[in-house]
Amino acid sequence: MNILSTILAFVVALGLLIVFHELGHYLVARLCGVKVLRFSVGFGAPIWHRRLGRDGTEWAIGGFPLGGYVKMLDEREGPVAPSELHRAFNRQNVWRRSAIVAAGPIANFLLAIALYWLLFVHGMPGLRPVVDAPPAGTAAAVASFETGDIITRVGSARVDTWQDVRWQLLKHAIKRETVTVEVEDDRGAHRQRTLDLGAIESKDLDADFLRVIGLSRYQPAIVGMVEAGSVAERAGLRPGDQIVGIDDVNVARWSDFVSVIREKPEVAVMLQVVRGAEDLDVTVTPAPKDENGKTIGRIGVGPIDGPSGLQRYTVRGGMAPLEAVAAAARETVDKSVFTLQMLWEMIFGRVSPKNLSGPLTIADYAGQSAQLGWIYYIQFLAVISISLGVLNLLPVPLLDGGHLMYYFAEILKGSPVSERTLEMGQRVGMIMLFGLMAFAIYNDINRLVGGS
């Protein structure tokens, strides 16, 4: 079922993003009076097609799904009736051709804005960036981060969740900058920590780079779930209970609580519990369980994991519709610029090319995000839509950005580039794109096989 759901989530994501991209080309072409012969999602021989509309435009689904295209009337691709010459793409002025080509990536950016708008209006639940004690010698330890610090600002940017913190710090990390981080300590006072990211290496800029600099989530001993029929349920523990002590010894973290319980199979212990405004004593006797030849104790509870639990550790904000439009546009621009920046750093070797992902990794992320819930899937779609828009604007022949590069040259020189130049560009572009795709798939296979 996981494989099926991953495939379904990937197909839906790919189909939606391709359709929006090609609709951008199609709608602006029609607006400019250009005749559209075919609208295809996927390449190769169509597995489904139908002709619709006054122009008899063929709507098709190709057998190879990684892409799509809009085929327009064009003298370079076949004979055009004299009565329809004015509707041929190649007969349009350079500004109209540029608008038609640019419309695809722009449609992806507009889709991302719409998706972020939906998320911002609804509110995105997340975990507050409450910091655990950093390991000695890490950048966070040098900056004097303490257990319970809530990160509220990174540089000039406000942050509400761990996802925000990672995003903002990543932008500073790729430049190896020193950044000021504002925190609220456990007494409510606001303080500043100076975090030096100069020692970050390109291999550290992956999903766990926060741990490299010493920042990890403080996980208090708050019960997130209680198993039916377990020791904990019979003892009366409930979700939301905070364990503050065991046998009158203070407990600060979930990991501390688990360690004690594991070491006391079939030994009665007294838990000091805070439930709302109440202080309770709850006696539990951990049930024995065999684990790799060792008997451990278990009471059948799990921690808060995700947007549940006490207000200090979780957040879910919502915006007014008009406010969300501006925020969604800023988020899209911000992530677009960062994507370009990452590509630039990758070209110059300051970011590892292993960060380049192909269709297998994207499919994996699609499946994971869909299983987490629709909010996470929408976030995934927005990020991929931005990536698709940025990728297509790169000045590489065969991509939209390559065509725009030719049109820019045409504007400068006053005439179209030669057929020879176009032919050479297509060959170079094909080699570049196939090489890029092969390397991305190689990275995907390495991740799947090696777990890196």
Q: In DSSP terms, which residues pair with 243 in a beta bridge? A: 273
- Strand duo 287-291 + 294-298: pairing: antiparallel
Report the SS3 class of residue 162. Answer: helix
CA dist., res. 93 & res. 98, Å (int): 9
The amino acid occupying position 63 is G
Is there a contact between 392 and 400 (Cβ–Cβ < 8 Å)? yes
CA dist., res. 91 & res. 95, Å (int): 11
Is there a contact between 35 and 84 (Cβ–Cβ < 8 Å)? yes
Is there a contact between 247 and 270 (Cβ–Cβ < 8 Å)? yes
Angle at which helices 400-413 and 94-122 cross, to 10°? 140
Distances (CA, A) of 361 to 5, 368, 441, 445: 15, 10, 8, 9
CA dist., res. 88 & res. 74, Å (int): 5
Report the SS3 class of residue 424. Answer: helix
CA dist., res. 365 & res. 379, Å (int): 11
CA dist., res. 220 & res. 245, Å (int): 12
- Burial label, 366 (beta-carbon count in 10 A; 0-12, 13-18, 19+): buried
Report the SS3 class of residue 385. Answer: helix
The amino acid occupying position 65 is P
Q: In DSSP terms, which residues pair with 182 in a beta bridge? A: 153, 192
Q: Where are the beta strands (DSSP E) in 276-416?
A: 278-284, 287-291, 294-298, 301-303, 314-317
Among residues 22, 58, 410, 423, the one annotated as catalytic is 22
Residue 331 designated active-site: no
Is there a contact between 414 and 407 (Cβ–Cβ < 8 Å)? no
Report the SS3 class of residue 209. Answer: helix
Phi and psi torsions of 14, nearest 5°: -60, -45
Which sequence positions are flagged as catalytic?
22
